Amino acid sequence: MTKQTIPDFELPGTSGKTFRLADYRGKPLVLYFYPKDNTPGCTSEGRDFSQLYPQFQAVGCEVFGISRDSVKSHEGFKAKHDLAFDLLSDAEEKACQLFDVIKLKNMYGKQVRGIERSTFVIDGKSRLIQAWRGVKVPGHAQAVLDFVQSL
C-alpha cells in the first residue's frame, strides 16, 4: 500500500475536545468509521476497541471512532457503553470524503448513503499505512491492535 499523506483536518469530539490530525504527529493513530451510534454492530465495535484501548495506549497509539452522528449523540453513546476513547462527529462528511467511506447501501430494499465500516492506521508523519474496508466486527479491533503492535 502506498503511504498516502493525509491532509490535516479538524472535527468536533466528545469531552469538549476538537480533534486536529496535526496534533497527533509523532505517534500512530487509529481512526475507525462506523455507521451509527447505538446500533448493535457499532456498539460491539466500540466496546471491542474500548476493551483493547489500554493496549493501544501502551504502544503510544490513540484511537478515535468517527460517524456522522452529532457530538450530543456521541456523548450519550460513549457514556452508555463506557467507551474509553473519544468519538468524533463528522456531520458534514469532511473526514468521510477524505477517506472515501460514504457508500450506497441497501437498507430494507432502498438505496441509502451511509458509512462503510472502515478502519485506518495513520503513522506519526500523517501517512496512511493500513486500511480495512467493509469491516466485519468480530475480531477486528484485535487485528488492528496486532497490526499497530507490529510497527
Query: Which residues form the catalytic set?
Result: 42
User: Residue 12 belongs to what H/E stretch?
Assistant: strand 10-12
- Please count the other Cβ atoms lying within 10 Å of the Cβ belonging to residue 58: 10
Question: What span, in angstroms and rounded, lies between the C-alpha atoms of 147 and 23?
Answer: 22
Question: What span, in angstroms and rounded, lies between the C-alpha atoms of 97 and 68?
Answer: 12
Strand partners, 103: 114
Query: Residues for the chain: how many in total?
Result: 151
Question: What span, in angstroms and rounded, lies between the C-alpha atoms of 101 and 67?
Answer: 10
